[in-house]
Structure formats: C-alpha cells, structure tokens
Structure 1
C-alpha cells in the first residue's frame, strides 16, 4: 500500500510566543518557519508525490506553498480531520500558564482520558486523524497504485497520534514521541501493518543536542518550537 510522508508545519508565530494555537485564526509562519518551508522542495528531492493533503490552517498552507510553486500542477486538497486538536478554551493561551492546570497532568500522563474544556478529547483527535489517513491511503492506492507516495501537512499532536497508531502504541504513550517544526515522518502502510520509515527527520541532528529547557520530561502540547 501507499507510503505517507507527514510534514509538520514550519515554526509559527505561536510556537515562538509559547502559545497553544489550536484553531486560532491568523497564525502564520515566523521567519524561521518560512525558511524551513522554502527548504522543503529540496529536501523532498525527486520523490514523486501522487497527492498533497493539508490541514486547512494557515501555517500548514504556508508551509506547502514553496513545494506547490516548485511543482506546478501538483495541487492541494484539504481535510479538516488532520487539522490541529480543538483545544477549546485553552486555545490562544500561554503554555506556561496552562502548565499549572490540573488537566495538564492528565494530558501528559493519561491523554486518552483528556478532554479540553469547550474542545475535543485527545482520543477523538486521534480517531479522526487515523480515519483520514486510512481513507486517503485507500484512495491513493486505488488511483495511483500501491507504490505511490503522498504527503500530508499537519500538526505536532496529530502527527504524534498517527505515529502512535502506526507503532501499535496506546495513546497514553504518545507524549514519548517528538516531531520538530517542518520535520518529515514517513509511514508505509501494508495490508497487515504499517512500518515507520522516518520519524521527525529534519535533515540534520541539531535537534538532538541537549537543551537547557527540556521541560522536565513532559511532552510539548501543540508540538513546540523545535531546536533553538
């Protein structure tokens, strides 16, 4: 079956401001995010893409624009199901403030039970994203053959949830997964099981260097801003 390349959007203004963006409108790429997006066509090289699917949010569409400019005629389709988690009342708030909320411990330790006030549950977020990938995978197989490659541009928590599903991990373990802005994650789906081929590939190892603000081992809700 088809191979899926998951691209997390480039670094955004919300990432650098420490905000949990969610579906807040008007969140664009910052200067570094724009540079990351500009490098995307070269990083993908000569990989033929059967389709490009995007979250409807601005930061994802901006991330894909250089790729679309480099490959005229490729086109883009959007799917709300790979849009960011609906964080509800938490949307637009500073992560530093949210760290003291009792719900944050649930998000970190037992995310399958986490429901954002005025938003959705993390379990529902994963379910809709997995459904989208499975449906697109079947569609690409049918239209382009089982050796086809397609790309989806989405968000940190969505990609982590999809990787957890591909690895057969419970959602409660998904905070152990990390994907930097504009990183590439590749999953090849077969009839019996998926194979994770790349995880959070940024093209270099700078993201593995020790960080002063490691966050005490907690997963970064929303995905974070990546390596400094």
Structure 2
C-alpha cells in the first residue's frame, strides 16, 4: 500500500514580511520557507501509519508543485521519514492550477490514500484537496481528525461542528487532514537527516504533463475609494469635512 502526501511550502510564520520598494508586491528576500503546518501534520501521521502497519504500507511519498529552490524544504520531508518526493517544476498562480498539475501526475500512478492538509497558512484557501478529488474523480473525506490502519484498509475519524463519523476506507480516496490527526509534527532525527541526502526527488517538468494551463495576464485593480484616518487632534477638521463634503452634519 502507498500513501501520497501533497505538501505546500509557505513562509515561516515568524518571518518578517516586507513590501517591495515600489509597493506593488511582497519582498521575498530573506523569507524563511517551511512545510505548510497542516501538511506537516498529515505527513507525520502518514509516517506513523507506515510504522504501525508492520510492512503493509510500503511507501510514503510526498508531492509538491514548485521551483527547484524548494527542494531544500522537500529534503526536510524526506528527513522526517518520507521515502521519496516528487517535484513538479512549475510556479502555479492559483489553487486550480496547482490541483490540475497534481492531478495530471497522480493519475499516472495508483495510490491507496492521498492526504492533503486542511489549508495553507499563506492563502488559507482550503481549495486544492477538493479540486483534486473532483479532477481525479475520487471520494473526498474532509475534517479527518484521526486516521488508522486496519487489515488492508484505513479508518478515518471525521469531525464536524455538531457530530463526528467513522469511515472505513477500502478504496483510493483523498483525505483532508484536520486538527487532531497528529499530536505534533515529527522531528527529524540525525539519522533521518543523513539518509535524506540520498533519497530521490523525482523531477517532473511542466511540459511532460502536457499541461495547457498558462497565465494569460495578471492585473491589479485600482482601489475604488481612498481612506483617511483622523487623530484625536483632528476632530475639528473631521467635523468640517463631514459637514461640507459629505453633507452628513
């Protein structure tokens, strides 16, 4: 049995984010990149399941869509215990593009379970997992707070606002990792760090997937209105503006 974990790489929450000098974008110089926390928990539980299955789960593979410089962080996933990694060499502009690229690659190799994190800590979209399930025509389990192995199948505990349910997974599906799936991220050991250097990162070019996904244009809309903040020392001016310009007073 094989488990595939989709991981995203995001800015460390402790990194100080700066705006570029032209005020048109984010300055990424000096930003520290890490595995998305939800994906890290999903990977942790996947590795634990492999250990608990006593050989029934043979591989835990991570897959990522991103540029070459992200391989440094992918090595951390390998150091945690993933057996290998797949990197699709592309810089997607939105969740749909990411999901389509993942789907094109995943469709080539069967997996028993595909796990995605609940959301990424940068955009908080919670979109890639459901989109991936639709594109691959696979069942989708959301709110997975517990995941267990049991005799050639998986058991998932799905938790929602007012109820929870247990689901037996005996065919490929996509599970969305939620709070509780793992107690804490797995810490890479020194041995894991050393062996990660020799583990394979399979490179998949965008062209080899015959992807027709391209960015046609990017446009920043201009703000429709401006906003001004008044201090307590400017109350008189505010009253005047409300009276003469806004016709409120």
What interval of TM-score do these two structures reach, taking the shorter chain for normalisation?
A: 0.3 to 0.5
Task: Report the TM-score, using the length of structure 1 for normalisation.
Answer: 0.37
- Which structure's residues are more often helix, by fraction? 1
**Structure whose CA Rg is larger:** 2
Under a length normalisation based on structure 2, what TM-score does the superposition of the two structures give?
0.35
